[in-house]
């Protein structure tokens, strides 16, 4: 099993739709979690950190489920500009080597 797994997609959704991605991780010692967004041929940029209590930023909600070892990202009211690849990142305790998932591609169409 890969250390961090994501469904590569693409998720093809209409504007205004709600879409959710999951990211599973295998190492129970993982302690910090992030979602990054990467536009085509650009660098990754932080979308949001994922806290144990969950967090919300406008249309975006991130959740952590430690028991089942996954994090999720929910996007409500999708916009055309949300089209991108979403990367999850997991940091193990005591390691300076973060693990990136391969990303989930989202395409929002009119």
Partner 1 sequence: NAGVTQTPKFQVLKTGQSMTLQCAQDMNHEYMSWYRQDPGMGLRLIHYSVGAGITDQGEVPNGYNVSRSTTEDFPLRLLSAAPSQTSVYFCASSSLRGAFQETQYFGPGTRLLVL
What does the binding site for partner 1 look like in residue numbers (CB under 8 A)? 31-32, 34, 41-46, 49, 87, 89, 91, 93-98, 100-103
Shortest Cβ 43–partner 1 spacing (Å): 4
Burial class of residue 13 (count of CB atoms within 10 Å of its CB; 0-12, 13-18, 19+): middle
Give the residue with the Cβ less far from partner 1, 35 or 78: 35
Shortest Cβ 94–partner 1 spacing (Å): 5
Give the residue with the Cβ less far from partner 1, 17 or 98: 98
Give the residue with the Cβ less far from partner 1, 11 or 34: 34
> Do 102 and 6 form a contact (C-beta atoms < 8 A)?
yes
Give the residue with the Cβ less far from partner 1, 20 or 46: 46
**Closest by Cα among 23, 82, 5 to 47:** 82
**Strand locations in 15-59 (E):** 19-25, 30-38, 45-50, 55-57
Shortest Cβ 15–partner 1 spacing (Å): 28
**What residues are paired with 93 via a beta bridge?**
none
């Amino acid at each position: 099993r890969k250390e961090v797994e994501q469904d590569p997609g693409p998720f093809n959704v209409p504007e205004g739709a709600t879409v959710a991605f999951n990211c599973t991780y295998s190492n129970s010692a993982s302690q910090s979690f992030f979602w990054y967004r990467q536009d085509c041929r650009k660098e990754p940029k932080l979308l949001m950190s994922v806290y144990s209590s969950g967090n919300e930023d406008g249309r975006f909600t991130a959740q952590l489920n430690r028991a089942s070892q996954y994090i999720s990202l929910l996007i409500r009211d999708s916009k055309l500009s949300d089209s991108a690849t979403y990367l999850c990142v997991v940091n193990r305790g005591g390691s300076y080597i973060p693990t990136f998932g391969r990303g989930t591609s989202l395409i929002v169409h009119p």
